[in-house]
Amino acid sequence: MKYARILLNNETVAVTVNDDNSVNLEDGSVLQEHEITWLPPSEGKIFALGINYANHASELNFKAPTEPLVFLKAMNTLIGHQQKTMRPDNVDYMHYEAELVVIIGKTAKNVKRENAFDYIAGYTVANDYAIRDYLENYYRPNLRVKSRDTCTPIGPYMVDAKSVGDPSNLSLKAYVNGELKQSGNTKDLIFDVPFLIEYLSNIMTLSPGDMILTGTPEGLADVKPGDEVVIEVEKVGRLTNHIISETEYNNNYRSEVNNVK
């Protein structure tokens, strides 16, 4: 089963999703994809992993870490499927990152690796954009790089854990304007899904809805306004996003605010 949240008449509505991306409302009615606005499929804490694929670590000239490099993002950064991400003017390098996302299903504290799957509600897809110009060597990767408004597309929906089965052998792909740019497999994760749940829940309490973005493999490239970026995770979904310029973003934001008023 696939679960999503959409914006309908300015309200967040929970729906289930069909194979053609049409959605079923609670009252039984069906809306086609072109009629809806996708929201992020979950709400909660957002963890993300840095350099969690061996090949990506070497691409960045980093030694593979001996402990997970975890950072947090705030909800402001999430946007849904088919939404727009702003590239600031005057930056040199903004890249996508294809990632498998784990969504927590029940309160988790001090969970052991062997029980970790009991705490997973399902999986989704994220594109964990980074703007490398803003990297500084303080709490790196810093929030200005990683928790920016519009810079974490996620979705389109959550697929329940049972339908996905084993998350440790799923292919991930990123396409820019239809061209395959990044390709990897979750079997190459340095710290796998059950490890991450044990590790994080040992530090703090995880709650239903919390998301873990598990990291990205090698194959990064710069993206520019006008680009269409698609992330695919096998058995989980296909997430589409478009890059816009800062000027277009500012104009859009103003018109959105005016519409609400």
Q: How far is the CB of 257 from another protein (least distance, A)?
A: 8
How far is Cα 128 from Cα 151, in angstroms, rounded to an integer? 7
Q: Which one, 53 or 175, has the nearer CB to another protein?
A: 53
Nearest Cα to 217, choosing from 146, 120, 128? 128
Q: Which one, 72 or 180, has the nearer CB to another protein?
A: 72
Q: Which one, 45 or 81, has the nearer CB to another protein?
A: 45
C-beta neighbour count of 149 within 10 angstroms: 14
Q: How far is the CB of 234 from another protein (least distance, A)?
A: 29
Give the range of 2-10, 26-34, 133-141, 226-234 binding another protein by CB under 8 A: 133-141
25 sits near another protein (criterion: CB under 8 A): no
Q: What does the per-residue mask of binding to another protein show for 52-91, with x meaning CB under 8 A?
A: -----------------xxxxxxxxx--------------
Amino acid identity for residue 49 in this structure: L
Q: How far is the CB of 235 from another protein (least distance, A)?
A: 29
Give the range of 23-31, 129-137, 160-168, 237-245 binding another protein by CB under 8 A: 129-137
Burial zone of 134 (CB within 10 Å; 0-12 exposed, 13-18 middle, 19+ buried): middle
Give the range of 11-19, 122-130, 146-154, 176-184 binding another protein by CB under 8 A: 146-154
Q: Which one, 22 or 207, has the nearer CB to another protein?
A: 207
Residue carrying structure tokens 């309200």: 11
Show contacts with another protein in window 178-207 (CB under 8 A): 203-207
How many Å is the Cα radius of gyration of the chain?
Answer: 18
Show contacts with another protein in window 107-126 (CB under 8 A): 109
Using the Cα atoms of residue 177, residue 179, residue 182 and residue 183 in order, give the sign of their dihedral: positive
How far is Cα 109 from Cα 97, in angstroms, rounded to an integer? 29
Q: How many residues bind another protein (CB under 8 A)?
A: 32
Show contacts with another protein in window 200-259 (CB under 8 A): 203-207, 250, 253
173 sits near another protein (criterion: CB under 8 A): no
Exactly one of 149, 160, 192, 222 binds another protein (CB under 8 A); that residue is 149
DSSP run (H or E) holding 19: none
Amino acid identity for residue 107 in this structure: T
Q: Which one, 32 or 255, has the nearer CB to another protein?
A: 255
The pairs formed by 10-17 with CB atoms below 8 angstroms and a separation of 24 or more are 10/260, 12/39, 17/156, 17/157
Q: What does the per-residue mask of binding to another protein show for 32-51, with x meaning CB under 8 A?
A: ------------xx------
The residues binding another protein (CB under 8 A) are 44-45, 69-77, 109, 134, 136-144, 147-149, 203-207, 250, 253
